[in-house]
Amino acid sequence: MLPIQGQNSSIEDRVFPQKFTLQIKGRLYSFAKPKVMGILNLTPDSFFEGSRISGNSTLLLKKAEKMILDGAELLDLGGYSTRPGAKDISVEEEISRVQPAFSILKKEFPEILLSVDSFRAQVAQAAIDAGADIINDISAGELDPMMLQVVAESGLPYIAMHMRGTPQTMQQETSYADFLNEILHYFSQKMDNFRKLGIKDVILDPGFGFAKTLDQNYQLLRQIDLFQIFGCPLLVGVSRKSMIYRLLHTDPEHALNGTTALNMVALLKGANLLRVHDVKEAKETITLFEQLYP
């Protein structure tokens, strides 16, 4: 296990985002400043109703255009709902949702970076064939043994997230002997494996809401700066999640204010990438952060 330092860290112990570059299809993209990733759910059952786009190309283009105009530099497309207890769907159905959307967006917005949110190698490959620039895997290769081979062969950046179990079982997988150390050890092993496979550009996502209790989510956010030891960009995805709306006794529809507050904390603790439903508000948060700490 990796030792944890600063167990009593506070908001005063600021660890600002480190500067990184990612190579994507022969071009270098700078993470000298935090970026915003907009969420496009190509599903009928994602936990936040306002994010759902299911088989509607007009709505897809409209939402994508608004996110780009609001300041998103990456868009994350997923065809499989990963909310707790979500319905499982076939690989074929997931591909039928994802692949056309990538083709449409790549044609309409060729400069925007597109990420495929899937833990299935076949879906990732279908998205790559349609123009995907990044692979976002909630299981870091745990749920499909072929995923890492697809990532390695593609040469694309890989977002590796921490979770346990599956979307259907993860909320029964929240018992840890040493919570933070176990997650750090998980990523330590993953990074060793990625290097052996030749996967060079990795973004780490600690996995807020995935196999974690409400209290564990906040413990993770308080000490997310610990993950900078891996020398990779950090993605934080807390947007409208239950760690916010349950604590505030509300629902996803009314969790934007809480999301904005926690996104600022994430930036203060070293986040490089905010994955959000509401791009404009996240971009404004980054602007305020940069004004406070130029």
For 80-95, what is each residue's pLDDT tens digit? 988 776 678 899 999 9
- The catalytic residue among 63, 97, 241, 269 is 241
Range of the domain at 99: 33-292
The residue-averaged pLDDT of 107-114 equals 96
Domain assignment of residue 188, yes or no? yes
The answer to whether position 54 is within a domain reads yes
Does 266 reside within a domain? Answer: yes
CATH code at position 209? 3.20.20.20
**In-domain check, residue 18:** no
For the chain, the domain total comes to: 1
26 in any annotated domain: no
CB of 72 closer than 8 Å to CB of 278: no
- Structural domain includes residue 3: no
103: tokens are 């083709």
Closest residue by Cα to residue 38 from 17, 23, 7, 60: 60
Residue 25 domain-assigned (yes or no): no
Active site residue 275: yes
Identify whether 16 is part of a domain.
no
Known catalytic membership, residue 19: no
Tens of pLDDT, residues 139-187: 999 999 999 999 999 999 999 999 998 888 888 999 999 999 999 999 9
Residue 46: its pLDDT value, please?
59
pLDDT of residue 6: 46
Spot the catalytic one: 164, 222, 275, 283: 275
Amino acid present at 294: P
